Amino acid sequence: MVVTGRGAVTPLGPDWAATWEGLLAGRSGVSEVTGFEVDDLPVRIGAEVRGFDPLAHVPRHTVRRTDWTIQAGIAAARMALAEAGLELDDTLAPRVGVAVGSIIGSTRIASDNAAAMAAEGYGGVSPHVFPTMGISAAAELALALGARGPSAELVAACATGTMCIGEAARWISEGRADVAVAGGMDAFGRLELAAAARARVLSRRTGDPAAASRPFDRGRDGFVIGAGAGVLVLESAEHAVRRGAPIRAELAGYAATTDAHHLTAPAPEGAQMDRAMRESLAAARLNTDEVGYVNAHGTGTLLNDASEVAALRRVYGEQAGRMPVSSTKSMTGHLLAAGGAVEAAVISEVLGTGLVPPTVNCDDPEFPGINFVAHKTQEHPVQVAVSHSFGFGGHNAVLVMRRWNG
């Protein structure tokens, strides 16, 4: 299984190239929220997307009836297909699957129409709202792209993007598709920011937005909510080689587990995180000492970071102190369903370039003996890279990629 295309819309840029450039520069995409009123909220910061024009990627009639989340997902998918050099014709389309997910989905359309109905009655409800609420993000992308293979929306909290990629890879390995478009997309509005603030999971560093996302730092006080989309194009190696595709990385292993412990808190010491790490490496037939980089889930919450490091040390032993481990959420914020997909693109790029993006704001690491790539990008020759995604509800998912040497 190989990765041939990557597309992204993130707080660091409207495409994957700009996002990667921002990550290497250690630039923060976190700022005071300007997209809606926040003056009465205890948290007024977030990682919003700026400079993205949906009409550059999505027809006007689709923009009119869809939420921004869908528009960003379609854009990321089209950019990923362009990087892969793929056009979906009548021959290929039946062999192309779509697996994407969104945590927030199109709830803003539902909320807006509920408000319009309360104010105006029946006539205030859009005729588009029912199909928009009922059709999955995967169906929207399949419709936009013309993909006619299997399609499904998978929602697994913050592990959504990673699990969509892993499950889509299984379609290909089972012979159900030759190509898959997979990833996640999300956005946030006033309701989501207020709800996360009420749950007390967000950083309260309202006066210093760029320093708010602090994975693994002693001063961390929660994550920063973000918006974006990330999509990978996966292909069977045979299909990619046959058409002379640009191969970015090999997707070598994937595993998913569930804590079944608590709605928001990870299981003590990350026991099921541990198992997802081990099973993904076993699926890839790799040993821990072969791993050269880990893109950590690293949200900047007290419990998540501590549990992830505990599991990492148990699984990797001494290797945990030798390899770089960084959290790009320190710059992008937590992109929810899009996070794991964007971070999968990150590890594919690390394998190709040997450049490891930093964990910014890691001024006083709580966990000694681990190279969190604090502040600045480092150079490391990496043959195998791993990405972690651990979500509310106890969802754990891990991807393993290997440098393509075929």
Q: Coil, strand, or helix at residue 259?
A: coil
Instruction: Catalytic residue, from 57, 297, 388, 395: name it.
Output: 297
Q: Left, alpha or beta for 260 (phi > 0: left; psi -120 to 50: alpha)? A: left
Instruction: Catalytic residue, from 57, 239, 334, 388: name it.
Output: 334
Closest C-alpha among 337, 384, 355, 366 to residue 103: 337
Instruction: Catalytic residue, from 158, 164, 239, 362: name it.
Output: 158
- Quote the pLDDT of residue 144: 96
Query: Would you say residue 133 has pLDDT above 80?
Result: no
Report which residue type is found at 8.
Answer: A
Q: Using CA atoms, how far apart are residues 244 and 240, in angstroms rounded to an integer?
A: 6
Using pLDDT thresholds of 50, 70 and 90, give the confidence band for residue 264.
confident
Q: At 218, give phi and psi (nearest 5°).
A: -60, -25
- Quote the pLDDT of residue 134: 62
Tell me what the mean pLDDT of segment 268-285 comes to: 92
Closest C-alpha among 245, 380, 343 to residue 10: 343
Catalytic residue list contains 239 = no
Domains present along the chain, CATH in parentheses: 2-403 (3.40.47.10)
Catalytic residue list contains 164 = no
Using pLDDT thresholds of 50, 70 and 90, give the confidence band for residue 261.
confident
47 in Cβ contact with 333 (< 8 Å): yes
Q: Coil, strand, or helix at residue 84?
A: helix
Q: Report CA 234 to chain centroid distance, whole Å.
A: 16
How many residues would you count in the chain?
406
Q: At 30, give phi and psi (nearest 5°).
A: -95, 135
Using pLDDT thresholds of 50, 70 and 90, give the confidence band for residue 234.
very high
- Poorest-pLDDT segment among 116-125, 261-270, 329-338: 261-270
Catalytic residue list contains 334 = yes
**For the segment 13-26, what is each residue's pLDDT rounded down to a tens digit?**
999 999 999 999 99
202 in Cβ contact with 47 (< 8 Å): no
CA distances in angstroms from 56 to 68, 79, 81, 244, listed in the order given: 13, 11, 15, 28
More confident residue, 135 or 34: 34
**For the segment 80-125, what is each residue's pLDDT rounded down to a tens digit?**
999 999 999 999 999 999 999 999 887 788 888 888 999 999 988 9
